[in-house]
Amino acid sequence: MSKLKIGVLGAARISEKSLAGPANRGGHRLVVVAARDRGRAQAFADRHGVERVADSYADVIADPEVDLVYNPLANGLHAPWNIKALRAGKAVLSEKPFAANADEARRVADVVRETGGTIMEAFHYATHPVMLRLQEIVASGEIGALRHIESTMIIPAPADDDPRWSLKLAGGALMDLGCYSLHAIRTLSHGGEPVVRSARGVERPGHPGVDEWIQAELELPGGATASVFTSMAGPDVVMTLTAIGSTGRVDAMNFVLPHEDDRVRVVTADGDRTESMGTRSSYDYQLDAVAAAVLGGAALPLDVDDAVATMELVDATYLAAGFPVRPSSVD
């Protein structure tokens, strides 16, 4: 297979693990990068073998060599730059969350339909064998009929001036972390969309409208339920996902970063076993999937309709918890 030619928007720290490492290991070309500070872009290029530095994000999108644009900018800048890239004829790998709110997500979806473009939300965990195995076990009936899903997402607090605490830039614990939980619940819950029944949360001191933590209860198709707790001010990192059935349960110890803990534990009347699904990075699996779609015409594992549905659930959770939906940045 030929290799991707990638343009990178920004010099975000996550890009080293989420894009640059997988691209270099996969033999893809990192063609160009731009950042608000050209010096940061140059340092990123020097560290990761990016071929050149551009003066602006627009220059990255306009570069004729680029076939895939990676967008890890602040949440509020996802939709505007995704739209610009799609209209420039580029495929896009957009960091999660897909947009600031569901309305923005639908506007991106409209552009995809207008242009016939390709875009995937970077829920990298969904391409790893850990999450694929959870889906197999739940669908197989090994744990009986699905009764409940639980997901907990906790990280220590970022610095107070971090963009993740900015309402204008679509920050908050649910946006940064809880979107994973909501997406995973949607993925495991077949036959319709979850409905938020209740939610509560606490505002980050000094950051009006921005959630420090949120807890939500959902109802799933068929009468099952789900619980989400997400905090961006905890003592440690916790990223667990559990599906409970009528005759057993299955647990992922770290479903978001499965390459750091690849254990899947299954408990039924027949016994208690732990499966190890491999420590290859979920980001590598994700880029493999994107390359197969962009270069080989394969179906994306996550399409734009999936992204819209997740953002609708994010918005519904915010409203149920008494928080405002994140403000739009799309003109």
* The one catalytic residue among 5, 84, 90, 96: 96
Residues 87 and 203 in one domain: no
Other Cβ atoms closer than 10 A to 115: 15
Question: With bands split at pLDDT 50, 70 and 90, how would you rate the model's confidence at 1?
Answer: low
Residues with Cβ within 8 Å of 49's Cβ and at least 6 positions away in sequence, in order, are 20, 24, 30
Kindly state the tokens that stand for 91.
Answer: 């495929």
Position 325 pLDDT exceeds 80? yes
Other Cβ atoms closer than 10 A to 32: 25
Last residue of a domain, one of 89, 122, 155: 122
pLDDT of residue 330: 84
Strand partners, 104: none
Kindly state the tokens that stand for 24.
Answer: 């270099």
Q: DSSP states of 38-53 as a string?
A: HHHHHHHHHHHT-SEE
Residues 143 and 184 in one domain: yes
pLDDT digits (tens, 9 = 90+) for 82-99: 999 999 999 999 999 999
Residues 139 and 229 in one domain: yes
pLDDT digits (tens, 9 = 90+) for 62-74: 999 999 999 999 9
Domain that holds residue 52: 5-122
pLDDT of residue 13: 87
pLDDT of residue 119: 98
Angstrom distance (rounded) from CA 86 to CA 93: 11
pLDDT digits (tens, 9 = 90+) for 248-258: 999 999 999 99
Q: Is residue 291 part of a domain?
A: no
Angstrom distance (rounded) from CA 226 to CA 246: 14
pLDDT digits (tens, 9 = 90+) for 164-219: 999 999 999 999 999 999 999 999 997 789 999 999 999 999 999 999 999 999 99
pLDDT digits (tens, 9 = 90+) for 257-304: 999 999 999 999 999 999 999 999 999 999 999 999 999 999 999 999
Last residue of a domain, one of 63, 97, 122: 122
pLDDT of residue 190: 79
Angstrom distance (rounded) from CA 56 to CA 259: 34
Residues 132 and 271 in one domain: yes
Mean pLDDT of all residues in the chain? 97
pLDDT of residue 61: 98
Q: Counting Cβ atoms within 10 Å, is residue 309 exposed (0-12), middle (13-18) or buried (19+)? A: middle
Q: Is residue 298 part of a domain?
A: no
Kindly state the tokens that stand for 181.
Answer: 């939980």
CATH number of the domain that residue 145 is part of: 3.30.360.10
Name the phi and psi angles at 170, rounded to 5: 65, 45
Share of the chain above pLDDT 90, in %: 97
What average pLDDT does range 121-141 have in this prediction?
A: 98
Q: Is residue 154 part of a domain?
A: yes
Determine whether 168 is an active site residue: no
